[in-house]
Amino acid sequence: MKKKRIILASSSKYRKTLLASILTDFECISPNIDETRMPNEKPENMVMRLAINKAKKVCENSKDALVIGSDSCAYCDSKILGKPLKKDIAIEYLEFISNKIIIFYTGVCVIDSQSMNIQKDLAEYKIKLKKLSKKDITDYVNKHNPIHSSAAFRFEVAKDLLIQEFIDKENDLSGLIGLPLIKLQNLLDN
C-alpha cells in the first residue's frame, strides 16, 4: 500500500521547523484562508475552526494526502491576541499582558484528503507572566522581533524573561510555538 503524502497547511517557519523534528518527508502549502474571528466565538473554538479550515483548503487540491492544520491564539482579560505584525503593536500587547494570567490555545487537526476524515485535538496552556518593565519589553521586541507570534510571545527564545509560572500546562510545550507535536503524532498514528 502506498504511503500517503503529508502536507502541512501553513506558511509558518516555526511550524515547519517543529514538524521537521518528527518527520523528514512532508510538504508545506500555504492555505490562504480568512482568519477573521466569528462574532462571540470562544478562542478555543476559533483555533480549532481555523486549523480545520486551513487543512480543508489545502485538501481541495491535494489528492491522497494527510493534511495537517494548526492555529494558535492567546487569551487575556477577555481579549483574543493574535500576531501583532508590527513592533509597536507587539509592545502594546506585552504591556497589556505584563503581570497577568494568559491562556494560549493551539488547535491541531489531520484530514485525510481522500476520505475527508478529520481528527483533531486542542492544547491549552495557562501561564502567569512576570511584571515586565518598559525596557524589558523594548529590548525583547528589538532582539526577538515577535511580530509573527500570538501576543508577541515567543516561548522558545524568551520563556525565562516572560514566564513567572505555569498554572496549568500540557506535557508538550511545542504547542506554545505553534504545533503540539505529541498530540499531532497521536493523530498521525491513528
Enzyme catalytic residues:
71
Find the helix packing angle between 181-189 and 13-20, rounded to 10°. Answer: 60
Residue given cell 524568551 in the structure block: 158
Say if residues 108 and 187 touch (Cβ distance below 8 Å).
yes
The cell for 50 is 481555523
Distance between CA atoms of residues 84 and 38, nearest Å: 19
Distance between CA atoms of residues 150 and 140, nearest Å: 15
